[in-house]
């Protein structure tokens, strides 16, 4: 529904991208809800870049597949006015740019309760640009995500987070560093 938004290196005007993050998930104390610090850093950096490029914060949303991840992202991004929540809290809402944090990253390649329905809700919240963030190896254990990753890989719309960091370091303008 429009041209790919500024602030990201979209491949061939394809406004859908997969950003692979290798950091492993962790469990919060007294919780069964995982979080992933590497994905939090990646999503936060992506949001900073969109804001630096002049994207209105009201046009950006962040979905996390797990509650603890959504809470941690909210604490990083709320002061910018970025809507953050779980896939359930975003049902029925849309934003121009959506970033989806899949969270799961483990040696067993366990994707937990990520399934086709939840993934479908998450990826259909974007009107113009979608970036899925997660561990490529783990997420390929999920049938729906494996199909998406293969399509994006074939289109040149996949990269490692380390590549993103190198690209961002070359930009002359930046928001203040993350805490």
Q: Answer yes or no: are the C-beta atoms of 103 and 66 closer than 8 Å.
A: yes
Separation between Cα atoms, residue 75 and residue 84, nearest integer Å: 9
Q: What is the pLDDT of residue 10?
A: 76
Separation between Cα atoms, residue 90 and residue 86, nearest integer Å: 7
Q: pTM, whole model, 2 decimals?
A: 0.90
Tens digit of pLDDT at every position of the chain (179 positions)? 567 788 887 776 678 999 999 999 999 888 899 999 999 999 999 999 899 889 999 999 999 999 999 999 999 999 999 999 999 998 889 999 999 999 999 999 989 888 888 999 999 999 999 999 999 999 999 998 999 999 999 888 888 887 777 766 665 544 444 44
Separation between Cα atoms, residue 163 and residue 144, nearest integer Å: 25
Residue 96 has φ and ψ, to the nearest 5°, of -60, -45
């Amino acid at each position: 529904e429009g041209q790919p938004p500024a602030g990201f290196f979209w491949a061939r005007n394809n406004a859908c991208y997969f950003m692979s993050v290798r950091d492993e998930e962790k469990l919060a104390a007294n919780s069964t809800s995982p979080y992933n610090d590497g994905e939090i850093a990646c999503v936060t950096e992506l949001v900073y870049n969109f804001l630096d490029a002049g994207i209105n914060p009201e046009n950006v949303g962040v979905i996390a597949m797990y509650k603890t991840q959504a809470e941690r992202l909210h604490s990083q991004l709320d002061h910018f006015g970025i809507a953050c929540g779980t896939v359930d809290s975003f049902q029925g809402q849309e934003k121009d740019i959506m970033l989806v944090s899949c969270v799961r990253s483990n040696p067993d390649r366990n994707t937990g309760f990520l399934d086709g329905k939840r993934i479908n809700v998450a990826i259909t919240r974007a009107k113009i640009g979608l970036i899925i963030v997660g561990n490529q190896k783990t997420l390929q254990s999920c049938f729906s995500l494996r199909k998406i990753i293969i399509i994006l890989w074939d289109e040149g719309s996949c990269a490692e987070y380390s590549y993103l960091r190198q690209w961002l370091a070359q930009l002359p303008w930046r928001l203040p560093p993350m805490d």
